[in-house]
Structure 1
Amino acid sequence: MNKTLAAVTLGTLVAAASAGAHAACLGDAQVADFFAAREARTPAADIENLDEADAACTRAKLNALLARKHGAVIGYKAGLTNPAVQKRFNYDKPVWGVLYQGMLLDSGAVVNAAFGARPLFEADMLVRVKSADINSAKTSADVLANIDQVIPFIELPDLVVQTPPKLNGPGLAAINVAARLGVKGLPVDVPTTAGGQAWLLESLRDMTVVMKDGQGAELARGKGADILEHPLNAVVWLAGALAKEGLALKAGDLVSLGSFSPLLPPKAGQTVLVTYEGLSRMQPVVVTFSK
């Protein structure tokens, strides 16, 4: 990274914040610096004072670099879908980011505890889109009718910036909602019968998601309803948000629904296991963090 340019970039952002000024969409050089820091797993300059439009503009620039490096889009993630996580980022609505090929690992993966500049982990869940009709979904039942798999998932986000507490909702959106890695478990097929779908719809809302360490000590827990009153409502929101930018979900896309737990920092040697109580067919998903 060009040290002089990085210093200028940081100085500009700090000055704007100090003056209480509104920051515009990050310039190409600023986004390139952020991307380089992300790839090097070193803290990047703080991103502050963006509005939603500037965040979307910045995310588009960053995603162009991510796509060049990491390949095809495999889906999307909805972030800040849990009120507790919204509170952490001082924002009252969800945000979204893009998932790329190579980001997802299989259950049992061993991941460096320093996998990012500001690495974290959280209990999450993926769903797989069956039909583009999902883009017109208005309810959780509409979403369920247009997905064919639910998948246990531990997301491994990376907040990247030097001072993560300064990130708010638009700042998080600008950095692609911190998408870095994730560990997926065995998928469960969505039932095709009306009775089976009704059972799954209720079970997703009422399930308890429990995160434990390798010794069985509980790290966190949450309910399905913690995400927008039903986890599939995250897909309703996401489809609408993508449509505003001329994008749409397609068959085969994966969607990360958001966090059922607090975001926690990984420790070298730690194993994390997430279970979904109330979903009898859902197997646990596991990740181990190495030195």
Structure 2
Amino acid sequence: MSLDAKTIAAITDRIQHAQDKVHTITKVTDEHPSMSIEDAYAVQDELRRSWIARGDRVTGLKAGLTSRAKMLQMGVNVPSFGIQMASMARPENSAIEMSGLIHPRVEAEIAFVLKNELKGKGLSIEQVIAATDYVIPAVEVIDSRYEKFKFDLVSVIADNSSSARYVTGGRPLDPQGLDLRTIGVVIEKNGEIQALGASAAVLNHPANAIVMLVDHLATRGECLPAGSFVMTGGITEAIPVARGDNIVARFQDMGSVSFRFI
């Protein structure tokens, strides 16, 4: 880490204020150009501690910027990881309030729920699948707190990888019976198709996002426990949304996820 604990705490407070009060800020590397990826994850750690102290709880983890479309859209070349909290979850067919969001976008993802712990570096896709209880369709609502949704990798990690809301739907399925590279996905907004994709867009196989997440955790002396819920990243580019929009994400052979913004 290149920044001291006092500076990390000050950055955390600034990002948390933007999240709580729903306003934009300039990206953190404008003020701290030497800030490292390790510093950014230290900010995430502080955010998590603060949320838990408020009575919130961790529900899972997420991989972000895992598709070529998202990397190009955001101008980065490696994934980021973030934390999912209970306060971010919304039920299927729910109404999500825009008052708590700045400039939200939606992306369709495949989520994994583990039955066994995963740890260590260099896992295989087969090991991830064997440790998975089920996969389920999900849509993440991302909402960067940075002005004009513009950021670098360090800044987005510090902002918890743009996490805001998430919705699961469809039906849980055993991954052993699916070809998780060839799941077709359609995102519709107000009945109009906005994006099409196939699950191989996520690092050639969405389980690779979990391989990379477990590698990342290993560098921090951590593992992915049994029971973990992990969102593996957007299959298409993220779609901007506004008040009144109805969203449906359809996953081939897995069902759909729907909700609206009010």
Distance 2:14 2:247 in 1: 32
Q: Distance in 2 between matches of 1:136 and 1:146?
A: 15
Out of 136, 139, 147, the residue aligned to residue 151 of structure 1 is: 136
Change (3 A) 1:80 1:256: same
Identity across the alignment (%): 24
User: 1:61: which partner in 2?
Assistant: 46
Map of 1:205 onto structure 2: 181
- Rounded Cα–Cα distance in structure 2 between residues aligned with 1:143 and 1:27: 33
Aligned position for 2:205? 230
Distance 1:275 1:46 in 2: 34
Task: Select between 94-103 and 65-74 the one with higher mean Cα deviation.
Answer: 65-74
Q: Take 1:177 and 1:262, find their aligned partners in 2: how far apart are those partners? A: 15
Structure 2 residue 261 is the aligned partner of structure 1 residue 289: yes
For 1:31, the aligned partner's letter is T
Please state how far the C-alpha of 1:206 moved relative to its aligned partner.
Answer: 0.9
Q: Once the 2 structures are TM-superposed, how far is the Cα of residue 247 of structure 1 from its aligned partner?
A: 1.8
Matches of 1:43 and 1:70 in 2, distance apart? 25
8 Å contact kept, 1:272–1:286: yes
1:180 correspondence with 2:161: no
CA distance in 1, matches of 2:76, 2:202: 15
Report the CA distance shift for 1:32/1:261 in structure 2 as closer, same or farther (over 3 A): same
Asked which structure has the greater CA Rg, the reply is 1
Aligned to 2:22: 41
| Aligned 8 A contact 1:149 1:187 in 2 | no
RMSD: 2.0
Which whole-Å deviations, capped at 9, do the CAs of 1:198-252 have from their partners, x for residues lacking one?
x41x2x101111101232x101111111000011111111011011112211111
Does the aligned pair in 1 maintain the 2:201–2:236 contact within 8 Å? no
TM-score (norm 1): 0.81
- Unmatched segments (≥5 aa) in structure 1: 1-22, 192-196
Rounded Cα–Cα distance in structure 2 between residues aligned with 1:115 and 1:213: 20
Q: 229-238 vs 181-190, which deviates more?
A: 181-190
Partners of 1:120 and 1:176 lie apart in 2 by: 15
Number of residues paired by the alignment?
A: 255
Matches within 5 A, 1:79-228: 79-133=64-118, 138-165=123-150, 167-190=151-174, 197=176, 199-200=177-178, 202=179, 204-215=180-191, 217-228=192-203
- Tell me the secondary structure at the aligned position of residue 239 of structure 2: coil
One of 25, 29, 32 as aligned partner of 2:10: 29
Report the residue type matching 1:213 in the other structure: K
Checking the alignment, whether the CA contact within 8 Å between 1:135 and 1:249 is kept in structure 2 is no
For 1:161, the aligned partner's letter is Y
Q: Structure 2 unaligned runs (5+)?
A: none
Higher relative contact order (CA 8 A, sep 6+): 2
Task: Give 1:76 deviation, angstroms.
Answer: 0.5
Give the C-alpha shift of residue 37 in structure 1. Answer: 1.9
> What's the offset of the Cα at 1:130?
0.7
Q: 1:31/1:133 Cα in 2 relative to 1: closer, same or farther (>3 Å)?
A: closer
2:228 corresponds to which residue? 253
